[in-house]
C-alpha cells in the first residue's frame, strides 16, 4: 500500500506550481462576475433588505486581481495564487460552518438499509399517470399507455 509520502515522491516535482490546491482557483472571469453581481443595484437592495447594510464585496475584486496576476505570470506569481486559494478556503469554511456545527442530527456513515425499497401502494397510485412517470417510462424504453390522448397542461 502506497503511503502519502510515496505518492508525493512519485509525482514529478514541478517547481513552477508550488501551490498545493490550484484546483480551487476558479476561472478569473467568475470572480469579476461575482464582484459585479455583488455591487449591482439589485444585490445592494437585497443586502440592505436582509442584513440592513451593504455587504463588503471587495474580496471578490481582490480575488479577481490576484487571479489575473497569477494567470498572466503563468503560475509564477505564487503570492497571488496563494492569496486566491486562501480566500477560497475561507469562503468554503464559512459556507460549511453550519454543517460542521450541527449537533442535532447524527451523521450517517452509510445509507439506510431500506433506502431503495418500493414505494407504498397509495403513493404509487397517487403518482400514476403523472408527467414524471410518463417521462420515466419513455426514458427507460417502456411503452407509455396509449389508451387515451391526454394533455398535461392545466389552464388556471
83 or 7, which is more confident?
A: 83
* Residue closest to 58 by CA, chosen among 40, 35, 37: 35
What's the pLDDT at 10?
39
Per-residue model confidence as pLDDT tens digits over 107-142: 889 999 999 998 899 988 888 888 888 888 888 888
Residue 2: is its pLDDT beyond 70? no
Predicted TM-score (pTM) of this structure: 0.60
Q: Is 81 exposed, middle or buried (0-12, 13-18, 19+ CB in 10 A)?
A: buried
**pLDDT-derived band at 6, boundaries 50, 70, 90:** very low
Residue with cell 436582509: 50
N-term to C-term CA, the chain:
64
Amino acid at each position: 500500500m502506497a503511503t502519502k509520502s510515496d505518492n508525493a515522491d512519485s509525482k514529478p516535482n514541478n517547481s513552477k506550481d508550488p501551490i498545493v490546491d490550484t484546483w480551487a482557483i476558479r476561472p478569473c472571469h467568475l470572480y469579476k462576475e461575482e464582484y459585479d453581481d455583488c455591487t449591482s443595484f439589485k444585490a445592494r437592495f437585497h443586502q440592505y433588505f436582509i442584513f440592513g447594510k451593504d455587504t463588503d464585496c471587495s474580496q471578490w475584486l481582490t480575488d479577481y486581481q490576484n487571479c489575473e496576476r497569477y494567470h498572466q505570470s503563468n503560475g509564477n506569481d505564487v503570492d497571488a495564487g496563494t492569496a486566491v486559494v486562501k480566500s477560497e478556503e475561507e469562503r468554503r469554511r464559512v459556507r460549511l460552518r453550519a454543517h460542521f456545527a450541527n449537533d442535532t442530527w447524527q451523521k450517517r456513515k452509510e445509507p439506510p438499509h431500506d433506502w431503495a425499497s418500493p414505494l407504498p401502494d397509495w403513493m404509487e397510485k397517487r403518482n400514476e399517470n403523472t408527467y414524471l412517470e410518463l417521462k420515466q417510462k419513455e426514458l427507460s424504453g417502456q411503452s407509455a399507455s396509449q389508451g387515451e390522448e391526454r394533455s398535461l397542461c392545466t389552464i388556471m
